[in-house]
């Protein structure tokens, strides 16, 4: 019997430099899940090695603003001088098809999703220590000093919003962090409020 299960939306967030991207990639490299990644749109210039349509959809400011006006984002934000946003339509289709959709976004966007889709699972990634975070932001080396300083200031602000999330996951090691996230997703599926409707429906068929 095929149950009509709507997919789960998983929001992976946390301060800039905590390693969200690395943990997300480790998560997708794991076996035994049905996760799909929501590719964001940004006006930031591609970094070396980044591919349009894989890492982001890279667009102009004018294009992004047109999409804001047309209400095409589930959430969007301006982050350190650039726009970032989650295209809405594809996610809605994927969830309807029963996929598990992962968003990897900063805190302001995550809180917008919390308002619109409170049934999503909100995970806040933290570094094992303050220094680790600052070192990572500096080591990335793709930005100039002023931008790094701005990102550090932003990361401190973002930390204060952790209490709004369902789970806190320590990124002491990206592979361990990915395992913890998978465990959270499995536990979320077993939650009574998410699964009981299926079983009631099954009994009625």
How many Å apart are CA 139 and CA 151, to the nearest integer?
Answer: 13
How many Å apart are CA 134 and CA 167, to the nearest integer?
Answer: 23
16 binds ligand 5GP, rule: CB under 6 A: yes
44 binds ligand 5GP, rule: CB under 6 A: yes
75 binds ligand 5GP, rule: CB under 6 A: yes
79 binds ligand 5GP, rule: CB under 6 A: yes
| Cβ at position 104, least distance to ligand 5GP in Å | 5
127 binds ligand 5GP, rule: CB under 6 A: no
Stretch that binds ligand 5GP, among 28-36, 60-68, 98-106, 193-201 (CB under 6 A): 98-106
104 binds ligand 5GP, rule: CB under 6 A: yes
How many Å apart are CA 104 and CA 82, to the nearest integer?
Answer: 16
105 binds ligand 5GP, rule: CB under 6 A: yes
Rounded to 5°, angle at Cα 21 from 16 and 24: 130
83 binds ligand 5GP, rule: CB under 6 A: no
Q: How many CB atoms sit inside 10 A of residue 62's CB?
A: 9
| Cβ at position 199, least distance to ligand 5GP in Å | 35
Helices (H), the chain: 20-29, 61-69, 88-96, 107-116, 130-140, 145-159, 174-190, 192-204
| Cβ at position 45, least distance to ligand 5GP in Å | 10
Binding residue for ligand 5GP, selected from 85, 99, 171, 181, defined by CB under 6 A: 85
Q: Map tokens 């149950």 to a residue.
A: 3
Cβ distance 123 to 12 under 8 Å? Answer: yes
Q: How many residues bind ligand 5GP (CB under 6 A)?
A: 15
Stretch that binds ligand 5GP, among 79-87, 114-122, 128-136, 186-194 (CB under 6 A): 79-87
Q: How many CB atoms sit inside 10 A of residue 81's CB?
A: 9
How many Å apart are CA 41 and CA 91, to the nearest integer?
Answer: 13
How many Å apart are CA 6 and CA 95, to the nearest integer?
Answer: 6
171 binds ligand 5GP, rule: CB under 6 A: no
Give me the residues that bind ligand 5GP (CB under 6 A), please. 16, 20, 40, 44, 75, 77, 79, 84-86, 104-106, 108-109
């Amino acid at each position: 019997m095929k149950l009509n299960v709507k997919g789960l939306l998983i929001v992976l967030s946390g301060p800039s430099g905590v390693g969200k991207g690395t943990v997300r990639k480790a998560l997708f490299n794991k076996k035994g899940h049905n996760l799909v990644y929501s590719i964001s749109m940004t006006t930031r210039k591609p970094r070396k090695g980044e591919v349009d349509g894989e890492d982001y959809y890279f667009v102009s400011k004018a294009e992004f603003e047109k999409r804001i006006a047309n209400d095409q984002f589930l959430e969007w934000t301006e982050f350190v001088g650039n726009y970032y946003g989650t295209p809405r339509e594809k996610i809605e289709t994927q969830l309807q098809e029963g996929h598990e959709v992962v968003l990897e976004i900063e805190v302001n966007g995550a809180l917008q999703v919390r308002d619109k889709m409170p049934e999503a699972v909100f995970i806040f990634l933290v570094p094992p220590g303050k220094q680790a975070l600052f070192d990572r932001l500096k080591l990335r080396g793709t930005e100039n000093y002023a931008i790094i300083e701005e990102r550090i200031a932003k990361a401190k602000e973002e930390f204060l919003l952790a209490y709004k999330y369902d789970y806190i996951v320590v990124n002491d090691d990206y592979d361990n962090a990915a395992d913890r996230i998978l465990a959270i997703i499995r536990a979320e599926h077993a939650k009574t409020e998410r699964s009981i409707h299926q079983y009631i429906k099954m009994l009625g068929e």
